[in-house]
Amino acid sequence: MEFITLLALMLFLTLVVSHIFNRLNLPAVIGQLILGVILGKGVLNIVQSTHEVELFAEIGVILLMFLAGLESDLKLLRKHLRPSINVAIMGVIVPVLLTLITALIFNINLKESIFISVVFAATSVSISVEVLKSLNYLSSNSGAVILGAAVADDILAISILSIMSGTLTGNFSAQKLMMLFGMWVLFGVIIYVAHRWIIPQIMKLSEYIDATHAPTIMALVICMIFAYIADIVQLDAVLGAFVAGIAISNAPKYNEKINRNIEIIGYSIFIPVFFISIGISLEFNSFFKDFWLILVLTITGIVGKLIGAGFGARVSGFDLKDSYVIGSGMISRGEMALIIAQIGYGVKLLSDEYYSAVIISIILITILAPFFLKNSISKNPLNTN
């Protein structure tokens, strides 16, 4: 009952802050992220990162990315495949170099500096997706590139993490690496087969099932299965959910009612908990002690993605305004960077001395990212041509 009471409080306060930020013409997600900081360890310490909160948050981000897939245009994603890869590659190289230089300047040892740079290579597009959805920009050319680049970015970040962690801990094995890539190839084959033949048939059959909202339930089952498979092959579960959304949206029996139903489920309970959960672990104990490190990591984290991903878009033929939108859309680190940081902390690649500074920087970047994306979109009228 304690969790149910906290859940009621979180959902009620989500309504309040969303109303305030919408009235201020700001993305409601910013208010929800700040709400998490206020409710968490950093201020009131009312909400802790319990198993229940983490579970609801995980379901929330899966549903959010599933909705992004449902609302994506597969043809548009294919059209912008090469720009997406360029954006992802440059959006990893530049932040890694800037963060590595920053860490070394602050006299952090080389091994830990390398790992911290890997942490800041990751992109969490879930926050950007929410802003893009709220501004009806998800189906634009820039939105398609951001989504495509985020998928490639996830794969790049996980690949670098696997190689770096194996090398730095002395557990590197070419056989393990080949097995990992083999699992990813298998995942790609499963996606293709399911998209072409299995999912269309399943969605057709769901229309004949005599149960309330059968197609919606079937879509959710497919989403969860894809998320689970992605997790098994050591990719992010949200990547599986996103791909499932794309596959279902292109099935013959897909309809907008499924999208509306899942949106109601997600935004009524799970997605707000996800946004709140990002900020609840933030503590300010080391904020003043590590102030300059936090400040520089935050700045380089923002600038690295903005310039790197923006340059990748620019060399792919996008103008400066679109490149600014794409670069802004790749800034957010969110849960992806937090997970990588926690993995490194667990295997002693990230020490107690710098763990809090890295976590605070990630959360600050995540809170600031929607401001950049909102600003970039306001300067660039929607263009889906």
Is residue 383 pLDDT above 60, yes or no?
no
Contacts of 288 (CB under 8 A, 6+ apart): none
Residue 257: both structure tokens together = 């009612």
Nearest CA-CA partner of 158 in 239, 104, 46: 239
**Lowest-confidence segment of 14-18, 188-192, 234-238, 242-246 by average pLDDT:** 234-238
What distance in Å separates the CA atoms of residue 75 and residue 217, rounded to the nearest whole number? Answer: 26
**Lowest-confidence segment of 16-20, 63-67, 153-157, 318-322 by average pLDDT:** 153-157
Residue 79: both structure tokens together = 């059209």
Is residue 83 pLDDT above 90, yes or no?
yes
What is the value of pTM for the model shown?
Answer: 0.87
**What is the predicted pLDDT for the residue at 167?**
67
Name the strand (E) or helix (H) holding 362.
helix 352-378
Task: Estimate the crossing angle of helix 81-105 against helix 110-119, to 10 degrees.
Answer: 150
For range 248-263, the mean pLDDT: 87
Is residue 158 pLDDT above 60, yes or no?
yes
Percent of residues, the chain, with pLDDT higher than 70: 97
